Amino acid sequence: MSDSSDFLYKMRHSTAHLLAAAVLKLWPKARFGVGPVVEEGFYYDIEIPDYKLSLEDLEKIEEEMRKLKEQNLEFKRAEIAIDEAIKLFEDLGQVYKIELLNDLKEHGTTVFSEIYSNGSSSKEQKVDRVSIYTTGDFVDLCRGPHVDSTQDIGVFKLTKLAGAYWRGDENNPQLQRIYGVAFKTEEELEEYLNLQEEIKKRDHRVLGRKLDLFTSSELVGQGLPLFTPKGTIVRDLLQNFVEDLNRQNGYLHVWIPHITKPDLYKVSGHWDKFKDDLFHVQGKDNEFALKPMNCPHHTQIYAFKPRSYRDLPIRFYETTTVYRDEKSGELGGLTRVRCITQDDGHLFIRDDQIEQEFDLLLEMQRKVLQAIGLTDYWIRLSLRDPNNKEAYLGDDEIWEKAQKTMADILEKRGIKYIPAEGEAAFYGPKMDLMVKDSLGREWQLSTIQLDFNMPVRFNLTYTDKEGKDRHPIMIHRAFLGSIERIIGVLIEHFAGAFPLWLSPVQVVLVPVGEGHIGWCRELAKELIDKNIRVEVDVSNETVGNKIRKAQESKVPYMLVVGDKEIESGQLSIRKRSDNNLYKMNKDEFVDMLISKDKNKEMEL
C-alpha cells in the first residue's frame, strides 16, 4: 500500500464503489447517480424506488460492505464504445448513467464532467469511448483510478444521509446521498471520529443560541439570522476594530444604498455572471436588485468628480450588508447566509502604487487575524482557469499582467503561497488568506483582489502628470470577509469562550446575599464607566449555582462579593478557566482588564 495522498484518493473512490455494490446487493432495483471523493471520504447519490433509507440502514449497508470487502473483489476496468455503454446501462435500468452518457455523446461533457474526467476540460469535445469499472455485480461509469481489489480498502464508516437533487436542480428527482469516510488505519478513523464529536460540541448553531448570541425566525426567513443584544456586541466589536484600523491607514468612510438598477451590474459584468443569485425588486416604475456586492457602487463614488494622479491612492471602506439568493439546502447557521455583512474596501491606485498598497494590506490583514486569534494561515493565489477563459472579463494580456504582478509581490517578500487555477474572481486574481482554526479546519476569510477590468468597463479615469486620462487600477479587499461567517467560525474556534476583548459580558458580579447587591451595583457602575462590560447576578440562587451559570455562559471573570470583600476592598476573582480564587484590589483588577482588552490578549 502506498502512503501517498494519491492512494487515499483511490481508496476513497473505491470505497464509494463498494458502498454502491453493497446497496445493490440489498436493494437490487437501486439506481445510481454519482459517487465522488470528498474531503476525508466519499458519497454516493442513490435512488431506491419506494424506499427511504434511515440511519439504521447505514449499519446494514456497512455490514454488507465488509462482507464484500472480504471477498477480495477486483476493480475491473474496461473501455467500450459509448453506444455500447448506453446499451449496457439500459439493460441495467440505470437511467441516471444513461443521461450522463447521452450528454457525453452529444456535448462531450456533463454537469458532472469533473467527476468523470478528473477535472480536465472536455467541453464540446467528441467522446467515442468511455471507461467502466465492475466490482462484483456493480457496474459504474467511471474514469477511475481505483485500488486493485476490495481488500486494499482500509477502514470506513458511513456517517450521514442527506437529500440531493439530481444535478443540483430542484426540478429534478431528489436522490438520497450517503456520506462515508475512509482511512488506512483504525487509529486514523478513531482520531477523525473524535474530532467530529468535538466539532459537534462546538457547533456554533447550538452554542450561539445557548450563549444568547443569535436566533432565527421562520417569519423572517431561512438564512437571515437575528442577533441578540449580546451577539450585536460581538458584531460591533469586530466592526469597530476593523473600521478603526481602516481610518488609521488612510481609508475614507462611504455609504451606499442596498438596492440598485440592474444597469449598474450589467456594466460591471455581475449581471450576466450572477443574475440567478440576485434578489429582484419590482418598484412602481423600475426594476431593482438587492445588492450582492459593493464594488460597482463604489466605482460611482470615485466617478462623480475628476481625479488627478495626486489624489491617488483613494481608499474607500464601508461595513455593509449584501444579499444573495442562496439555495435553501446550502444554508447553514452563520457560515452560509442570505445576508452577508462585509467589511468591504476598494482602492483606486496608480500602477506604481500596487506594491506599497499590497504591503499595507498584508500588514493590516496580519493585525486583524492576530486580534481574533487565527494566526495559523497560508496564502492561496487564486488564478484564472486557463481552460475556461470565457468565464472571466478581460483579455490574456491583462490577466497575465495581473497574475504575474501578484506572484512577484509574494515572491519578492519571501511569502509562501499555493497557486489555485480556477479560484480567481471573474474580474481579477486574488490573494486569499486561508486560516486554520483550533480544530485544524481551514477557512477562507480575508482576500485581496487585483482588478484591471472594472475601471475600464466604467471608464474611470484620472489625469496623469502629462495631463492625459488614464484608467486607475482597482483593489478589492476584505479582512473579516463576512461578519456573520467570522462570528460562526470564532464561536467554534474558541468553543464559545471568546477572548476578553470580544466577550459580550466580561465580568459577572456575584453577591453572596441580598445585602451585598447594592455594593455590587455601585461597583458595576464604576466598571461600566471604564467601558468594562459587566452584569450583576441578582437571582435567588446559591453562589455556586451563580458561578456555574457564569462559567457555562463563558464569562471571563466572576467577582464573588460578601462581607469580607466589602470590608477589605480586596476582590475575590474567579476565572472561567479554573476553579481557583484570586485576590486583587479593585484598581489593579480594572487596570488588568483595560490592558488585556486594549492589547487584544488571548489568555485571561
Q: Tell me if residue 295 is catalytic.
A: yes
* Residue 204 a catalytic site member: no
Catalytic, out of 94, 176, 342, 506:
342
Instruction: Give the mean pLDDT of 62-81.
Output: 95
Give me the chain's average pLDDT, please. 92
Are 133 and 218 members of one domain? no
Of 146, 270, 346, 485, which is the active-site residue? 346
Assign residue 387 the CATH number of its domain: 3.30.930.10
277 is catalytic: no
CATH number at residue 150: 3.30.980.10
For 16-49, write each residue's pLDDT tens digit: 999 999 999 999 999 999 999 998 899 999 999 9
For the chain, how many structural domains are there in total?
3
Q: Looking at the structure, tell me whether residues 163 and 298 fall in a common domain.
A: no
pLDDT(173) > 70:
yes
Q: What is the pLDDT of residues 148-169, one digit of tens each?
A: 999 999 999 999 999 989 988 8
342 flagged as catalytic: yes
Which residue among 199, 218, 249 closes a domain? 199
Residues 316-349 pLDDT 10s:
999 999 999 988 777 889 999 999 999 999 999 9
Among left, alpha and beta (phi > 0; psi -120 to 50; other), residue 137 is alpha
Distance between CA atoms of 110 and 100, rounded to whole angstroms? 6
Alpha helices in 458-578 (DSSP H): 483-493, 517-529, 543-552, 563-568
C-beta neighbour count of 534 within 10 angstroms = 21
Cβ contacts of 466 within 8 Å, gap of 6 or more: none
**Residue of 177, 430, 457, 533 marked catalytic:** 430
Residue 110's pLDDT is 53
Q: What is the mean pLDDT of residues 476-500?
A: 96
Distance, CA of 247 to CA of 244 (rounded, Å): 5
- Model confidence at 210: pLDDT above 80: yes
Question: Rounded mean pLDDT of 195-206?
Answer: 94
Catalytic residue (choose from 167, 324, 380, 516): 324
Pair 183, 232 in one domain: no
Residues 215 and 103 in one domain: no
Q: How many CA atoms lie within 13 A of 225 on its CB side?
A: 28
- Whether 266 is catalytic is no
| Shared domain check, 120 and 16 | yes
Query: Does the N-terminal peptide bond of residue 49 adopt cis geometry, omega within 30 degrees of 0?
Result: no
Average pLDDT over residues 5-11: 86
* Domain stops at, among 465, 493, 521: 493
- Residues 342 and 248 occupy one common structural domain: yes
Task: Write down the catalytic residue from 167, 476, 533, 554.
Answer: 476
Alpha-carbon distance of 262 to 314, in angstroms, equals 26
124: left (phi over 0), alpha (psi -120 to 50) or beta: left
* pLDDT of 124 higher than 70: no
Distance CA 575, CA 271 (A): 53
Reply yes or no on whether the pLDDT at 125 is more than 70: no
Whether residue 583 lies in the annotated active site = no
Choosing from 12, 146, 177, 295, the catalytic residue is 295
> How far apart (Å, rounded) are the C-alpha atoms in residues 90 and 563?
85
Confirm whether 477 is a catalytic residue: no
Query: Would you give the distance in Å from CA 59 to the centre of its chain?
Result: 31
Last-in-domain residue among 493, 516, 546: 493
Q: Assess whether 80 and 222 both reside in one domain.
A: no
Q: Phi first, then psi: what are they for 52, rounded to 5°?
A: -110, 125
Residues 319 and 270 both lie in one domain: yes
For residue 500, CA distances in Å to 35, 380, 444, 555, 587 come to 46, 31, 25, 9, 18
What is the domain-level CATH number for residue 556? 3.40.50.800
Q: Is the pLDDT of residue 1 over 50?
A: no
Domain span at residue 584 reads 500-598
Does 487 share its domain with 505? no
Catalytic residue among 45, 57, 344, 597: 344
Measured distance CA(482)–CA(478) in Å, rounded: 8
- Note the pLDDT tens digit of each residue in 251-309: 999 999 999 999 999 999 889 888 888 999 998 888 999 999 999 999 999 999 999 99
Same structural domain, 308 and 379:
yes
Say if residue 114's pLDDT is above 90.
Answer: no
Which cell numbers hold the place of 34?
Answer: 454519482
Average pLDDT in the 486-505 region?
97
Which grid cell is 114?
A: 469533473
Q: What is the pLDDT of residue 360?
A: 95
**Whether residues 81 and 217 fall in one domain:** no
Largest CA distance in the chain: 93
This prediction's pTM: 0.86
| pLDDT of the residue at 531 | 95
pLDDT of 115: 44
> What pLDDT was estimated at residue 109?
58
Calculate helix-pair angle for 229-248, 483-493, nearest 10 degrees.
Answer: 110
Q: pLDDT of 447-457, one tens digit each?
A: 999 999 999 99
**pLDDT value for 169:** 83
CB 232 within 8 A of CB 348: no
Residues 520, 523, 529, 532, CA torsion sign: negative
